C-alpha cells in the first residue's frame, strides 16, 4: 500500500465575497470575483501535510475537478506544501456522484492510504462526495473529523455529535472528511508560491481515467437570492413582547 495521501479540493467563491445572482437568474456572478480553495478542503490539505511532516506519509497529492481555471487553486495547494497535483479537466456541470466517480478513478490509479476532503463545499453544501466515494471504493469512511490519528494500518477519528464526542477506528485505506475544528491551515508565503510553479501539475480528462458516466442527473432551472428578512421591532417591556408575539400568532 502506498503511503500517499490524496486530498480533494474544490474551487469556490471566496467565503469573504458577497455572492450575487445574475439579473436573469441563470446563475451566480463569477466575473471578476475572487475564487479560493473551499475552506473545509483547505483544512483537509493542512491535515495531510501535518501527517506527512510527522513521517506517516511519503507524499501528498492534491486533486480537483473542473475547468482549466482550477489550476490556480491547485497551485495554491502546492504552495501550501502538497507534492504534486492533478486536475481532471472538464467544463461539464457535475453533481457529487460524478465527482466521486472521478475521485475513485484517481484513488485506484494512485492507491493512497488515505483520501481526505472537506465535509462539504460552501457553494452547494451537499456534503455527499466523501460518503459516495467511500461507497464506490468499498472502503471505510469517517466523516466530520475534529481529530485524526494514524496508528499503523488504522486511523482513529474523533467527531462531534449531538451527545458529545464519538471516536471511530477504521482500517486503511479509508476516506476521511474534515470539520472546522480539526486544524487551522497555514499561511502561504511568497517563497512557497514561487517554488510551487515548478511542482508537477498533471491535467487529465475523464475519458483518460476511463470514466464516462459523470453527467448530472438534475438540471438547475433558476437561481434566486434568499428572501429578505423582515425588520425587527423594539419593545419596552416583557408585556409588550408577549403582546407582539400573540399578535403574530406565535403564542
pLDDT at 123: 87
pLDDT at 222: 85
pLDDT at 52: 96
| Residue carrying the nine cell digits 502538497 | 82
Query: For 247, which DSSP code?
Result: H
Residue 184 to residues 35, 44, 75, Cα–Cα distance (Å): 20, 10, 19
pLDDT at 16: 87
pLDDT at 78: 96
Tell me the pLDDT tens digit for each residue of 60-76: 999 999 999 999 999 99
Per the DSSP assignment, residues forming a β-bridge with 156 are 149, 169
pLDDT at 215: 83
pLDDT at 218: 83
Tell me the pLDDT tens digit for each residue of 233-248: 888 899 999 988 888 8
Domain range annotation of the chain: 4-222
79 within 8 A of 37, measured Cβ to Cβ? no
> Which three cell numbers mark 240?
409588550
pLDDT at 147: 95
Fold of 4-222: Rossmann fold (3.40.50)
pLDDT 10s per residue in the chain (251 long)? 568 999 999 999 888 888 888 888 888 888 888 999 999 999 999 999 999 999 999 999 999 999 999 999 999 999 999 999 999 999 888 899 999 999 999 999 999 999 999 999 988 888 999 999 999 999 999 999 999 999 989 999 999 888 889 999 999 999 999 999 999 999 998 888 888 889 999 999 999 999 988 888 888 888 888 888 878 888 889 999 998 888 888 77
Vertex 238, ends 236 and 240: CA angle to 5°? Answer: 60
> Which three cell numbers mark 68?
482549466
pLDDT at 182: 92
pLDDT at 1: 52
Tell me the pLDDT tens digit for each residue of 137-148: 999 999 999 999
Amino acid at each position: 500500500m502506498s503511503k500517499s495521501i490524496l486530498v480533494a479540493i474544490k474551487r469556490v467563491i471566496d467565503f469573504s465575497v458577497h455572492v450575487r445572482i445574475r439579473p436573469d437568474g441563470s446563475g451566480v456572478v463569477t466575473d471578476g470575483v475572487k475564487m479560493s480553495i473551499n475552506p473545509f478542503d483547505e483544512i483537509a490539505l493542512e491535515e495531510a501535510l501535518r501527517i506527512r511532516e510527522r513521517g506517516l506519509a511519503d507524499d501528498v497529492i492534491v486533486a480537483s475537478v473542473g475547468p482549466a481555471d482550477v489550476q490556480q487553486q491547485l497551485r495554491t495547494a502546492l504552495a501550501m506544501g502538497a507534492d504534486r497535483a492533478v486536475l481532471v479537466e472538464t467544463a461539464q456541470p457535475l453533481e457529487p456522484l460524478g465527482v466521486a466517480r472521478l475521485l475513485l478513478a484517481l484513488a485506484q490509479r494512485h492507491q493512497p492510504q488515505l483520501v481526505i476532503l472537506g465535509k462539504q463545499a460552501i457553494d452547494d453544501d451537499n456534503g455527499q462526495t466523501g460518503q459516495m466515494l467511500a461507497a464506490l471504493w468499498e472502503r471505510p469512511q469517517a466523516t466530520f473529523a475534529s481529530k485524526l490519528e494514524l496508528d499503523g494500518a488504522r486511523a482513529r477519528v474523533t467527531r462531534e455529535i449531538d451527545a458529545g464526542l464519538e471516536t471511530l477506528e477504521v482500517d486503511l485505506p479509508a476516506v476521511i472528511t474534515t470539520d472546522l475544528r480539526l486544524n487551522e491551515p497555514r499561511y502561504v508565503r511568497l517563497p512557497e508560491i514561487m517554488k510551487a510553479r515548478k511542482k508537477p501539475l498533471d491535467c487529465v480528462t475523464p475519458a483518460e481515467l476511463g470514466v464516462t458516466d459523470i453527467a448530472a442527473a438534475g438540471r438547475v432551472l433558476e437561481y434566486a437570492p434568499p428572501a429578505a428578512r423582515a425588520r425587527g421591532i423594539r419593545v419596552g417591556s416583557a408585556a409588550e413582547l408577549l403582546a407582539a408575539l400573540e399578535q403574530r400568532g406565535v403564542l
